[in-house]
Chains A and B, each alone.
Chain A
Amino acid sequence: MDAFGDYVWPRATSELILLPVTGLECVGDRLLAGEGPDLLVYNLDFGGHLRMVKRVQNLLGHYLIHGFRVQPEPKGDLDSEAMIAVFGSKGLRVVKISWGQSHLRELWRSGLWNMSDWIWDARWLEGNVALALGHNSVVLYDPVIGCMLQDVPCTDRCTLSSACLIGDTWKELTIVAGAVSNELLVWYPATALPDNKPVAPDRRVSGHVGVIFSMSYLESKGLLATASEDRSVRIWKVGDLRVPGGRVQNIGHCFGHSARVWQVKLLENYLISAGEDCVCLVWSHEGEILQAFRGHQGRGIRAIAAHERQTWVITGGDDSGIRLWHLVGRGYPGLGVSSLSFKSPSRPGALKAVTLAGSWRVLAVTDVGGLYLYDLEVKCWEQLLEDNRFQSYCLLEAAPGPEGFGLCALANGEGLVKVVPINTPTAAVDQNLFQGKVHSLSWALRGYEELLLLASGPGGVVACLEISAAPTGKAIFVKERCRYLLPPSKQRWHTCSAFLPPGDFLVCGDRRGSVLLFPARPCLFKKPGVGPKAITAAEAPQAGSSSGGSESVVTGLGPVSSLHSLHGKQGVTSVTCHGGYVYSTGRDGSYYQLFVHGGRLQPVLRQKACRGMNWIAGLRMAPDGSMVVLGFHANEFVVWSPRSHEKLHIVNCGGGHRSWAFSDTEAAMAFAYLKDGDVMLYRALGGCIRPNVILREGLHGREITCVKRVGTVTLGPEFEVPNLEHPDSLEPGSEGPGLIDIVITGSEDTTVCVLALPTTTGAAHALTAVCNHISSVRALAVWGVGTPGGPQDSHPGLTAQVVSAGGRAEMHCFSLMITPDASTPSRLACHIMHLSSHRLDEYWDRQRNRHRMIKVDPETRYMSLAICELDSDRPGLGPGPLVAAACSDGAVRLFLLQDSGRILHLLAETFHHKRCVLKVHSFTHEAPNQRRRLILCSAATDGSIAFWDLTTAMDRGSTTLEPPAHPGLPYQMGTPCLTVQAHSCGVNSLHTLPTPEGHHLVASGSEDGSLHVFTLAVKMPELEEADGEAELVPQLCVLDEYSVPCAHAAHVTGIKILSPKLMVSASIDQRLTFWRLGNGEPTFMNSTVYHVPDVADMDCWPVNPEFGHRCALAGQGLEVYNWYD
């Protein structure tokens, strides 16, 4: 491995691994986590924060870590150093680490010992390690010198699925083995005769109806817990297992998981289990569920550890995330629902509406027009006023602000609005606004300077009232500022409003689902010379035209910009402005990020909340900068965190149709609702956020199907990239400007993730995730990479356009902008804007309306994408790039991207392959005195590669594309220029590179493990034979062709020609292999075993001469390699 001698070869070394976390262990206040073959050591402090101290690299070679066992210290002192046995698969290594106050150092490591069979459990026995092996045998091993001391098999050599070793000496060693027959076998290795004859099992325990995946023994209480495939956890009373012949009694059979249970752990007072359903359950020993921790994504929780003194549980998931949870309580004091006992003979009438002024004052109104206040500190109800004009129909809204600004507003069915100062209700002001019913009320607050109340009346008229208080605080003034007019619809009223900073505009949502932008101070529009923000006056004639700008006209001012029906017919529920964006939520289960540019609203990104949460009621920005989503999930009110995928609060309130109110301050969050004729209040001290900690963010929950490098951001020293991970392993030369590679990944979990990979730290930062797909994402393509300020701008940053495609024939196009941001851990901020989307079935549906039933096949998957751009160095020329898609229905489809990706439409298709098309790739051919040619290659499951000339595809009068039989159908692509039968079965990777001779090297890798490399020559016919240049068709021919059968033992899913002399290939057999080209057949140079299984895609790129190349391998995890050129 450490071959500095043959540096002439590229030698790939692993830089970063993101894999399922399969081993976790708490040692004192340190957490050991296994990630691939590496050991990560974290420090836990009392706040539950975690700091990575060190990555101890490559402990297990090509094995993955499945567990740690720390050698017990006779003195019980593990604070300064520890001897750790690390095991996984068939490998075992012991490492001694010193981790005193200041520094973590690896003192010594043993050899990597290979066992003959899988290691299910390990236990320290007086300096040696006992191992429970895959076919029900126990081995005693000296881990220092690496020799086997004992090897005792059981008489029943069945395959095990788990095992648990008990005892501290060989003599008392007990093994509980989980056999494939679903039984537990208890036996005693030390009872073997000196010749190590097989030992018969002492006891066989049956109960589970599936295999047992995990076991845990609690010596102090004589309990054993088992977790099984049958989705249950069983608790057994076993007494002292070290004593043969004891009675085993099943005392608990716990069903609570909705999928297989991977892990179980017994603590002194709790039982913890975690499984495939991504839930970690905390049970009492009596089998009641005390807590449920949800938040991991993907295929489940693989590892659990507990810090008993701090009562923490730490879980590691398949998503490579690590999370810390509080075992006792939900982590909050003062949490729960209480009834505020409104019903009383002294308070007549039934409750109609409730609201919250701050988190400690509840306001409620009855059907006899009584307004009541409940102060949580005083704990009693007080009547503020009674006004019988507000009986039968009454709206109630408290003003926003930390303590509700001390104001609330009432409105009735006859157009009357009453603004009430809560402390001095006698100073209430009435305003008669409309002839009919007030449909809705909402507040808008700008800092502490400007407070508006918006009231919707009949005919879509919204009255905007300006509220101000007298300096004495005893009186308030209500003045009508203007009237707005909503676009026509059946239910024509607004639902929410907010100031758009700095305050020139109001953003409103309406019942029809539209988001609207109104000028906050329309008077400024009449006198363009006034106000500093008169630039928006350009919008004035259009905006003011309907109202005529006169107060006497009944109608109002129309919106200057609107997004019609953004949230569908169920309506908009809230608008919030934060960080330069507008966020709107709706009852369509989504929330939008919007942005106002030049006085116009533009949608940026649509996001969905958790599954089943179809009624999103609002958003809150938490103090730590993260966002929480409020909404209703069936009959529950839920506070959901998109960052941690966690339901932070659940209140069984009966649904959102009744009157409710939410308020959240740093001190507490409160949710009030009406139920059973009373006011119920849910309160949690400490705000919305639960103190559960994400120790490490997860990446994708499921397999990564594609990876693509977008570009590099170079940050100057002023954005010093934090180097927490390797404080002492910095090699000289790795300082200097921070190079950060930006990589995007698509996954079966339907999301696209933007990752930052700094070259200096070996860490990965997930910048953002885009989740617009309804099915898996399988392919990504990038074009138009630039800098935010254009080519002349020297500021660091990156912009690019991305197309993603996948299952259900769905394609999305979005733009990416990366800018420096010193406030984030990655030192970068990522802005995403969704540009367009396309679905084949929608396309065909539209055609059906116009023509006749053609074809509806939404099951087509896009397998691969390629951007086909003739003049990528001259952007803006021509109609825009084409994107070619390989489709599972046997087609190659060409889409045209216009207006920088805002328009995406299907241009042409061909069913030439008649089989699932797996790969598409495009390249350009340049020759002196000739037009540049654009060539597309496509490859299918039958091993053939077809080449298409798309040079003139977009030219007028070109014959490249044949017109369709019916207008509206896509063009046909004709016949390919050349087809090459490269393999006997599916082509899983394809790449090309121009050669110095003016030809092209084409390399492909296949399902059968073979590689195929050939030289392609593009010849143009002599000019005199043709009339015009447009008619020239190039002739493609294969010059020399080489095949390497059995280059890999499985699918070759990644191939890249690095230079005309060098090629690299990656396969599902987990080898990254370099091949020498140029002297006839490709010859093997070297190969590296990597850790990511099922690699589906690879991308390689040169970083710079000092750093060499980087290579990202994506599959069930992500691994980054680098090599020097």
Chain B
Amino acid sequence: MGRTSKDKRDVYYRLAKEKGWRARSAFKLLQLDEEFQLFKGVKRAVDLCAAPGSWSQVLSQKVGGQSSGQVVAVDLQAMAPLPGVIQIQGDITQLSTAKEIIQHFEGCPADLVVCDGAPDVTGLHDVDEYMQAQLLLAALNIATHVLKPGGCFVAKIFRGRDVTLLYSQLRIFFSSVLCAKPKSSRNSSIEAFAVCQGYDPPEGFIPDLTRPLMNHSYETDFNQLHGPARVIVPFVTCGDLSAYDSDRTYSLDLDNGSEYKYTPPTQPPIAPPYQEACRLKKNGQLAKEFLPQECSIDRVDKLSQPLAIHTLLAPKVEDNEINCSS
């Protein structure tokens, strides 16, 4: 396993590095746009949970490139700066963040809100699915403050046990809700994207960021836990047939004749939570347990400190002197 092995296993990871995207997820947004023309006529776009910034990169090219196009990227974590993208380091559950976004748009609501955020998975599936649902609902909640009627909302979903509850909730706010999977998203991943078009909140709905949106629960007639009545929205595969297959392993020399050259990752993570622990581990400063050597029971016998120096300078003993006990 060399440094190229991930390039072979994941063609989009490799292409992202070669094209300068910060993450392979840039292709997902590009393929979603191919299918749904998401950026058509969009002047103001918001990228929630933007770090490391690959979707902001796409938005800045597709929206920011047009005249008067504006892109605002919001994330709790710091993100390396991007040209043409206004960055807000803030919490999407806070009203102040919503106000700041509107302020950057000079009072105008956004045409498009996208969210590719996912919580750090814990591996406990029910917790992860809940956390992802909360993130999506928080994104939806702030979108209700900044999105213009008829606007579009795209967010990552995990298609797990309770995804139908999210569908039914999104249907309340949008005239069209679809589940889309770009070809660059792997078959083996449960990730998909909810593409919600035509923002149309129910009559009398007042956006309120002080109250979190709770997810729905199963109902006996409309969205059943066991029964046939479930809200499953139509599924759309995005990306044309000639697109690369994200599950396939490609050889390093792709068909288009270009020669392979290793490219390092575009943007390594900034200040991850485990930074300090890794530094300590690297320096051998993590706390260690006492080995029994250090708590000799036989007080009569004297035991000096572990003989580290002698270990290092152990004479090279010939193999035939090994004493193999039996």
User: Which residues in A have some Cβ–Cβ distance to B below 8 Å?
Assistant: 1, 20, 22, 62-64, 88-90, 114, 116-118, 134-135, 157-159, 180-181, 209-211, 213, 228-232, 254-258, 260, 262, 276, 281, 283, 287-292, 299-300, 302, 318, 330, 333-341, 352-356, 379, 395-398, 400, 437, 439-440, 442-443, 491, 493, 495-496, 511, 571, 573-574, 617-618, 635, 649-652, 654-663, 675-676, 682, 855, 857, 859-861, 888-890, 915-916, 918, 941-942, 984-986, 988, 1007-1010, 1045-1046, 1048-1051, 1068-1070, 1084, 1086-1089, 1093-1094, 1116
**In the bound complex, what is the Cα–Cα distance between A281 and B190 (angstroms)?**
34
CB pair B124 A1008 closer than 8 Å = no
**In the bound complex, what is the Cα–Cα distance between A397 and B320 (angstroms)?**
13
| Contact of A1087 (CB < 8 Å), options: B227, B291, B295 | B227
| Chain A proximity mask over B288-311: 1 for CB below 8 Å, otherwise 0 | 111111011110111110110011
| Contact of A654 (CB < 8 Å), options: B181, B235, B311, B323 | B311
What are 21 A-to-B residue pairs whose CB atoms are below 8 Å? A89-B130, A157-B210, A158-B93, A211-B273, A230-B274, A231-B276, A339-B301, A339-B304, A495-B324, A571-B319, A652-B291, A654-B311, A655-B314, A661-B323, A663-B325, A859-B5, A888-B247, A941-B187, A941-B248, A942-B245, A1049-B163
Q: Contacts A496-B324, A1049-B163, A1050-B159 known; A159 to B134 CB distance under 8 Å? A: yes
B89 at the A/B interface (Cβ < 8 Å)? no
**In the bound complex, what is the Cα–Cα distance between A918 and B296 (angstroms)?**
58
CB pair A657 B317 closer than 8 Å = yes
- Main DSSP-derived SS at the A contact region: loop
| Contact of B190 (CB < 8 Å), options: A318, A682, A1094 | A1094
**In the bound complex, what is the Cα–Cα distance between A662 and B217 (angstroms)?**
63
Q: Name which of B26-34, B38-46, B196-204, B277-285 contacts chain A.
A: B277-285
A671 to nearest B CB, angstroms?
Answer: 9
B254 at the A/B interface (Cβ < 8 Å)? no
Interface residues of B in 246-266 (CB under 8 A from A): 247-251
CB pair B248 A889 closer than 8 Å = yes
**In the bound complex, what is the Cα–Cα distance between A281 and B286 (angstroms)?**
12
CB pair A1069 B163 closer than 8 Å = yes
CB pair A618 B326 closer than 8 Å = yes
Which of B125, B228, B302, B304 has most A Cβ within 10 Å? B125
CB-CB < 8 A to B228: which residues of A?
1084, 1087
The 9 closest A-B pairs by CB, nearest first: A210-B273, A1093-B125, A231-B277, A916-B247, A661-B325, A1050-B159, A1008-B235, A986-B187, A338-B301
CB pair A397 B326 closer than 8 Å = yes
CB-CB < 8 A to B230: which residues of A?
1049
CB pair A340 B314 closer than 8 Å = no
CB pair B323 A354 closer than 8 Å = yes
CB pair A942 B274 closer than 8 Å = no
**In the bound complex, what is the Cα–Cα distance between A289 and B298 (angstroms)?**
23
| Contact of A657 (CB < 8 Å), options: B164, B288, B322 | B322
CB-CB < 8 A to B130: which residues of A?
89, 118, 134
Q: Contacts A338-B301, A656-B322, A661-B323 known; A288 to B287 CB distance under 8 Å? A: yes
| Chain A proximity mask over B207-236: 1 for CB below 8 Å, otherwise 0 | 000111010010000000111101011110
Give A491's nearest chain B residue, CB to CB.
B319
CB pair B297 A335 closer than 8 Å = yes
| Contact of A1009 (CB < 8 Å), options: B76, B232, B285 | B232
CB pair A440 B245 closer than 8 Å = no
Give B138's nearest chain A residue, CB to CB.
A159
CB pair B289 A292 closer than 8 Å = yes
CB pair B303 A337 closer than 8 Å = yes
Give B135's nearest chain A residue, CB to CB.
A159
**In the bound complex, what is the Cα–Cα distance between A174 and B175 (angstroms)?**
44
Q: A341-B302, A918-B187 are in contact. List 6 more A-B contacts (CB 8 A).
A: A159-B212, A231-B277, A336-B292, A658-B314, A889-B249, A1116-B123
CB-CB < 8 A to B161: which residues of A?
62, 1069-1070, 1089, 1093
B275 to nearest A CB, angstroms?
Answer: 8
CB pair B324 A573 closer than 8 Å = yes
**In the bound complex, what is the Cα–Cα distance between A330 and B131 (angstroms)?**
39
CB-CB < 8 A to A571: which residues of B?
319
CB pair B287 A255 closer than 8 Å = yes
| Chain A proximity mask over B119-136: 1 for CB below 8 Å, otherwise 0 | 010111110011100100
CB pair A300 B325 closer than 8 Å = no
CB-CB < 8 A to B212: which residues of A?
135, 157, 159
Q: Contacts A232-B276, A255-B277, A660-B323 known; A675 to B159 CB distance under 8 Å? A: no
B117 to nearest A CB, angstroms?
Answer: 12
CB pair B326 A396 closer than 8 Å = no
CB-CB < 8 A to B233: which residues of A?
1046
CB-CB < 8 A to A635: which residues of B?
311
Interface residues of B in 124-155 (CB under 8 A from A): 124-126, 129-131, 134, 138
CB pair A942 B241 closer than 8 Å = yes
**In the bound complex, what is the Cα–Cα distance between A335 and B214 (angstroms)?**
56
Q: Contacts A117-B214, A209-B273, A281-B289 known; A1068 to B298 CB distance under 8 Å? A: no
Give B131's nearest chain A residue, CB to CB.
A159
B37 at the A/B interface (Cβ < 8 Å)? no
B237 at the A/B interface (Cβ < 8 Å)? yes
Q: Contacts A299-B123, A574-B324 known; A651 to B164 CB distance under 8 Å? A: no
| Contact of B296 (CB < 8 Å), options: A289, A338, A1008, A1069 | A338
B107 at the A/B interface (Cβ < 8 Å)? no
A398 to nearest B CB, angstroms?
Answer: 8
CB pair A258 B319 closer than 8 Å = no
CB pair A1045 B234 closer than 8 Å = yes
**In the bound complex, what is the Cα–Cα distance between A158 and B322 (angstroms)?**
63
B291 to nearest A CB, angstroms?
Answer: 6
CB pair B248 A1068 closer than 8 Å = no
CB pair B273 A1050 closer than 8 Å = no
| Chain A proximity mask over B5-30: 1 for CB below 8 Å, otherwise 0 | 10011000000000000000000000
CB pair A337 B324 closer than 8 Å = no
| Contact of A335 (CB < 8 Å), options: B9, B226, B292, B310 | B292
**In the bound complex, what is the Cα–Cα distance between A574 and B324 (angstroms)?**
8
CB pair B160 A1093 closer than 8 Å = yes
A415 to nearest B CB, angstroms?
Answer: 14
**In the bound complex, what is the Cα–Cα distance between A88 and B130 (angstroms)?**
12
CB pair B325 A341 closer than 8 Å = no
| Contact of A355 (CB < 8 Å), options: B76, B237, B291, B325 | B325
**In the bound complex, what is the Cα–Cα distance between A330 and B292 (angstroms)?**
9
CB-CB < 8 A to B273: which residues of A?
209-211, 228-231
CB-CB < 8 A to A442: which residues of B?
324, 326
| Chain A proximity mask over B153-193: 1 for CB below 8 Å, otherwise 0 | 00000011101100100000000000001000001001000
**In the bound complex, what is the Cα–Cα distance between A1100 and B237 (angstroms)?**
30
CB-CB < 8 A to A574: which residues of B?
324, 326
**In the bound complex, what is the Cα–Cα distance between A319 and B325 (angstroms)?**
36
Q: Contacts A337-B296, A1007-B181 known; A658 to B317 CB distance under 8 Å? A: yes
Q: Contacts A355-B325, A1070-B160 known; A258 to B277 CB distance under 8 Å? A: yes
**In the bound complex, what is the Cα–Cα distance between A574 and B322 (angstroms)?**
12
CB-CB < 8 A to A1094: which residues of B?
125, 190
Give B311's nearest chain A residue, CB to CB.
A654
Q: Contacts A158-B93, A255-B277, A400-B326 known; A654 to B123 CB distance under 8 Å? A: no
Which of B124, B237, B276, B323 has most A Cβ within 10 Å? B323
Q: Contacts A353-B323, A652-B293, A1070-B160 known; A210 to B274 CB distance under 8 Å? A: yes
A19 to nearest B CB, angstroms?
Answer: 9
B106 at the A/B interface (Cβ < 8 Å)? no
**In the bound complex, what is the Cα–Cα distance between A296 and B285 (angstroms)?**
24
B299 to nearest A CB, angstroms?
Answer: 9
| Contact of A1045 (CB < 8 Å), options: B235, B287, B322 | B235
CB-CB < 8 A to A890: which residues of B?
245, 248
CB pair A1051 B159 closer than 8 Å = yes
**In the bound complex, what is the Cα–Cα distance between A20 and B124 (angstroms)?**
8
A986 to nearest B CB, angstroms?
Answer: 4
B175 to nearest A CB, angstroms?
Answer: 19
A166 to nearest B CB, angstroms?
Answer: 23
